[in-house]
């Protein structure tokens, strides 16, 4: 015996309709002795923002701004990670080097021209992260001089899979401190040497 259901009444979409965005709770405050996973952006819960390698660098930067992120994974059609691009890659000296070396305009630079290729990406294993504290993440940022750290796990068929991300900006905000890394200083030094100051 099956129950009969009446259809839900449909109507036309109103002109000028927008769409709902998820309301994300602000990240909670953390202490350095809290578990590190509490500071990680977990891609099982938050959708990672990606970009193909053959689009312009400017497009990737607009995508970062639109999504409120400072790092995009660069992926191919099969979602294999080819590299990553950060706002520092776009705003730093890499575009100036490409313009100088190849004689092209800034708006012609592609993501693949300035991204960090996958073979140069250092990652943290989720098993290590699960045993660590937030203070260990801060120490990692300072030791590597980087503003981001990717976390990997064993995905389908035990193929390595990017599971999450630590952002120095986000972790600092949650701790109520500014995390200083040598990346910014190193980039300014590189820029000054490139400009001949």
**What DSSP string runs through the chain?**
-----PPPPP-PPPTT-------PPPPPP--TTSBGGGGSEETTTSPPPEE-TTSBHHHHHHHHHHHT-SEEEEE-TT--EEEEEEHHHHHSSHHHHHHHHH---GGG-BHHHHSEEGGG--EEEHHHHHH-BHHHHHHHHHHHT-SEEEEEEE-GGG-EEEEEEEEHHHHHHHHTS----HHHHHHHHHHHHHHT-
pLDDT on residue 125: 95
pLDDT on residue 191: 42
Whether the pLDDT of residue 54 is over 70: the answer is: yes
The mean per-residue pLDDT over the stretch 71-80 comes to: 94
**Reported confidence tier of residue 19, pLDDT bands at 50, 70, 90:** confident
Tell which wins on pLDDT, 192 or 120. 120
Whether the pLDDT of residue 187 is over 50: the answer is: no
Phi-psi region of 107 (alpha: psi -120 to 50; beta: other; left: phi over 0): alpha
Instruction: Judge whether 15 and 158 are in contact, CB under 8 Å.
Output: no
Whether the pLDDT of residue 4 is over 60: the answer is: yes
pLDDT on residue 23: 67
pLDDT on residue 20: 74
The mean per-residue pLDDT over the stretch 93-122 comes to: 94
The mean per-residue pLDDT over the stretch 160-170 comes to: 94
The token pair that represents 47 in the structure block: 């959708």
**In whole angstroms, what is the distance from residue 119 CA to residue 137 CA?**
22
Which domains, and CATH codes, for the chain?
36-195 (3.10.580.10)
Q: What is the pLDDT of residues 123-155, one digit of tens each?
A: 999 999 999 999 999 999 999 998 999 999 986
- 113 burial (CB, 10 Å; 0-12 / 13-18 / 19+) is buried
Single pTM value for the model: 0.77
**Mean model confidence pLDDT for the chain:** 88
Whether the pLDDT of residue 194 is over 60: the answer is: no
Q: What is the pLDDT of residues 85-97, one digit of tens each?
A: 999 999 999 999 9
């Amino acid at each position: 015996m099956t129950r009969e259901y009446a259809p839900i009444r449909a109507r036309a979409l109103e002109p000028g309709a927008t769409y709902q965005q998820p309301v994300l709770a602000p990240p909670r405050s953390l202490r350095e002795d809290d578990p590190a996973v509490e500071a990680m952006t977990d891609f099982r819960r938050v959708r990672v923002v990606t970009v193909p390698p053959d689009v312009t660098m400017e497009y990737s930067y607009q995508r970062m701004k639109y999504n409120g992120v400072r790092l995009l994974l660069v992926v191919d059609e099969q979602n294999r990670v080819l590299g990553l691009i950060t706002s520092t890659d776009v705003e730093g000296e890499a575009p100036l080097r490409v313009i100088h070396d190849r004689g092209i305009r800034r708006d012609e630079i592609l993501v693949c021209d300035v991204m960090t290729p996958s073979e140069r990406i250092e990652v943290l294993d989720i098993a290590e992260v699960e045993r660590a504290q937030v203070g260990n993440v801060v120490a990692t940022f300072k030791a590597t001089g980087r503003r981001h750290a990717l976390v990997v796990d064993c995905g389908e068929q035990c193929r390595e899979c990017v599971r999450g991300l630590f952002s120095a900006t986000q972790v600092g905000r949650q701790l109520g401190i500014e995390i200083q890394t040598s990346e910014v200083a190193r980039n300014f030094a590189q820029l000054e040497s490139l400009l001949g100051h």
